[in-house]
Amino acid sequence: MAVEQDENPFLRPSQDGRSASILGGSTNSSSSMLPLVYTQGLLKPQRNAYSISLLVTSLYSTLCSALFFVVALLQPKYGHVISSRGRFSPSSAALLTAFIAKTIELSFVMVFLAFIGQVLSRRAIQQKGISLASVAMRSWILQPGTLFSQWYSVRFAGLSVLGVLSLVTAILSLLYTTAAGALVQPQLRLPPWEQQKLAGEVQSDFSNALKANQTCLTEWPDVGDTQWGGSTCLAVKWSSLCGRNFVGYMSKWDDGAARTNPNPSWMSDRLEDRLPIFAALNDNITVTTSWLGQYDVKSESEKAGRIINNVTIAVPHRGVPAAARNTQNNLLQPEDLHDSGSYTIQASVASFALNVLCVNAKKEELAPIVYETWPNAVVMKNTSMAVNFWPIQAFTDGTNANNQTELDGVFGWKNETEDHSRARPVFLKFPKAGNTLANHTSIFDDRAEAYLLGKAPDDTTQDYFLCSMKAGITTSCTTRYNASSGGQSLEAICDQQDDHKHDDDHEDNQSTAPSPSSTDAPAVSGWRAMAFDLLNSMSLNNGVFDGDASTARILTQLQLTEPALNKTLPSPAEALLSIMTCTVLDLTQDFPFQVSGNESGNETDVGLERNQLQHFDASIRVAQYMSGGEKQYQKAFLVVLALTLLINLFILGYLAIVLRVRLITDLCEPLVLFILGYHSFPGKGLFEGLPQEGPQKSDLKEQWIVKRVGGQLVVVGRGEADEGLGMEGGGRERFGMGMRRKRGVMGEERE
């Protein structure tokens, strides 16, 4: 049987037929023996489909990594883009970000491996020499665990420029997806405060009694009562709304809370530390007022020579919640983010200021303004007379309210001839203990105050207390509105409050609040008529016929007997304010945001026939999906994104400018390197370790190169001479015999 001639697999004819085996081709050769590298000379750089696709991949990785870096740096807000009504849902946005980040990571690794292969291959064929440790840099990137399992390779190659670059790339490939998730992937966050002009609908200046009646009747069934239907509607409505606010406020002063917490912060004689007045708007918005002005009861009482209880609050503008949902403002609502959203608006708008001034006075000091003490006073013989003929009889021809009192300086009263807007009130009689009665005797439309006279029950004190109530407008406070799926709140923010309570407020929202008696917050005379209806609906005027109303009894029990606020009970002024708050909340739905004029410069102190838009300045924070790390430590991932971009730019420049998209075969590819080593001559002393033992530490630093021997690329030591490799024909024969001898030795050792 004929002996089959051995074939040198590296010299198999190429596809173009440009080479032939020196030893003759075998018809039985396997396709696995096809040479991976054909060299008629050394490797020739070529521009082909692979090199172009690699350039496109590098360009993609560079552009996308640049996009991710810019997004992480700018932290854009996506607003309606990522919402239930937007182009992307939150889950879709997260999936898209993760997908792009993964493609950047894969393409980044791909082009860097190609970069390493080109650099090392060119060093090898240019006789500059490379080592096994340099080839191992591919494993650092593909299998980062080898940095620890084969740490000795890092020792020999890690300090070179290419080694450092490979180490950095290995770390970047591990962290890039994490960095993109922390800094690029949209997350639901509250951005910093930003200034924005908002718009809301306005119509009238202040809802007077007539408009209030009409408004109430629109929500009331038509019973045919054209004369008293409106006032009856208001009485029922306010007795419910205002009474509920009063009950809720009183219930907060629970002694049980004091027993649970022996020293609660709100149990204080300092007004600014006490429980704020609160209410409810539309049954779903919690309204919190703010103290406006700081009055010390003790010092004020010492100045006046009597107990003074003066309290002013700022009520937030109720039109802000409606403006927040105005489609023109285009704010992202909580339901747009599947009930996960929230926003805060701090609006620079006018606020209502409610003031109650209560003083303790003796009976003889009040006599000049009590009708039953006047000469020729008509005695009310029965209840019907008190109800039907009072207060008409107080102002018969020839009578006036010019009786001077010791309280003129406290309340600022004057004779009618001097200033009828400061005319003194007149009461029917002295209320009996535990009762209150109101002053319904004003014949001047420009007087702003309503008055209430009462006396504590059970002979607690012999003094009466007289309270004036008025409403004004102030620009010293801002209105803050918070909305989320958990609830809504509306509060007034004034400059007297401690800064630490609102650390996230914008500095432009701070203002200086005037004294409640300052002309900067003028009283609104139109409120007085509604105050009369309010007092009637709350039964606070039942004292005219000794009605012993429950609300009046509770109120009179709060009368101060010492020149200091009671730490466990609200004062009469605070209690009255909790009742009064509902009037401005219920009736100011379309009140202008600016008291001086609208954006066109037209005055807004007159009613409008139809709703118009008015703009106002506001600071807003709208929770929305945005990029950028939420925590400060996440900013460190910017280094990962930045280095990835820089390396991508460097490799793109290397491929496009230095190599001009002309690549050589990557000799460091495992398959190419295996075939190259398989056909190489066994050098003397190049690698000391046996194949089954793997490379030794000394082998990692040995420099080797690629040379052409007889038209074939082989791996040789850098110091080996060309003549030692053999020449055409015989050299290749010795080369093949050497390879067979080496394999024979290895086989014997295994046996």
pLDDT band at 85 (very low <50, low <70, confident <90, very high): confident
Q: Is the pLDDT of residue 309 over 90?
A: yes
Q: Calculate what percentage of the chain has a pLDDT beyond 90.
A: 35
> What is the spatial distance between Cα 373 and Cα 377, in angstroms, rounded to a whole number?
7
Of residues 236 and 216, which shows the higher confidence score?
Answer: 236
Average pLDDT in the 665-677 region? 75
> What is the spatial distance between Cα 116 and Cα 114, in angstroms, rounded to a whole number?
5
In the block, tokens 């552009």 appear at: 63
CB-based contacts of 711: which residues, under 8 Å, 6+ apart? Answer: 11, 19, 39, 40
Q: Is the pLDDT of residue 76 over 50?
A: yes
Domain range summary for the chain, segments of one domain joined by +: 1-34, 45-189+623-665, 270-602, 679-751
What string of DSSP letters covers 203-225? --SS--HHHHHHHHHHTS---S-
Please state the pTM of the whole predicted model: 0.75
Q: What is the pLDDT of residue 570?
A: 93
Q: Work out the number of other CB atoms within 10 angstroms of the CB of residue 67.
A: 14
Q: Long-range contacts for 180-183 (Cβ within 8 Å, ≥24 apart)?
A: 180/68, 180/97, 180/98, 180/100, 180/101, 180/104, 180/641, 181/97, 181/98, 181/101, 182/629, 182/634, 182/637, 183/68, 183/71, 183/72, 183/627, 183/628, 183/629, 183/634, 183/635, 183/637, 183/638, 183/641
Q: Is the pLDDT of residue 549 over 60?
A: yes
CB-based contacts of 735: which residues, under 8 Å, 6+ apart? Answer: 681, 709, 710, 714, 725, 726
Q: What is the pLDDT of residue 605?
A: 44
Distances, alpha carbon 333 to alpha carbons 89, 307, 483, 575, in Å:
15, 49, 8, 36
- Which of 291-295, 600-604, 687-691 has the highest mean predicted lDDT (pLDDT)? 291-295
Q: Is the pLDDT of residue 433 over 70?
A: yes
Q: What is the pLDDT of residue 119?
A: 85
Q: What is the pLDDT of residue 516?
A: 37
CB-based contacts of 215: which residues, under 8 Å, 6+ apart? Answer: 207, 587
- The residue among 625, 633, 535 whose CA lies nearest residue 580 is 535
Q: Is the pLDDT of residue 270 over 80?
A: yes
Of residues 206 and 547, which shows the higher confidence score?
Answer: 547
Side chain identity at residue 383, one-letter code: T
Q: What is the pLDDT of residue 128?
A: 73
User: In the 8-state DSSP scheme, what is residue 471?
Assistant: E
**What residues form DSSP beta bridges with 358?**
309, 467
Q: What is the pLDDT of residue 205?
A: 60
What does the mean pLDDT of the chain come to? 77
> What is the spatial distance between Cα 322 and Cα 326, in angstroms, rounded to a whole number?
6
pLDDT band at 345 (very low <50, low <70, confident <90, very high): very high
Q: Is the pLDDT of residue 745 over 80?
A: no
**What residues form DSSP beta bridges with 713?**
708
Mark residue 539 as left, alpha or beta (left: phi above 0; alpha: psi -120 to 50; beta: remaining).
Answer: left
Q: Is the pLDDT of residue 687 over 80?
A: no
- The residue among 295, 231, 153 whose CA lies nearest residue 532 is 231
- The residue among 673, 703, 670, 672 whose CA lies nearest residue 686 is 703
Give the 3-state DSSP-derived string for 294-348, with helices as H, strands as E and coil as C. CCCHHHHHHHHCCCEEEEEEEECCCHHHHHHCCCCCCCCCHHHHCCCCEEEEEEC
Q: Work out the number of other CB atoms within 10 angstroms of the CB of residue 688.
A: 12
Average pLDDT in the 480-499 region? 82
Average pLDDT in the 56-60 region? 96
- The residue among 125, 189, 131, 191 whose CA lies nearest residue 160 is 131
Q: What is the pLDDT of residue 7?
A: 41
Q: Is the pLDDT of residue 3 over 60?
A: no
**What residues form DSSP beta bridges with 480?**
346, 491
Q: What is the pLDDT of residue 296?
A: 84
Polymer length of the chain: 751
Torsion of CA 367, 372, 375, 376, to 10 degrees: 170
Q: Is the pLDDT of residue 41 over 60?
A: no
Element (H, E) at 441: none
CB 295 within 8 A of CB 311: yes
In the block, tokens 């393409």 appear at: 107
- The residue among 193, 185, 304, 214 whose CA lies nearest residue 629 is 185
Q: How many helices (H) and strands (E) does the chain have?
A: 22, 17
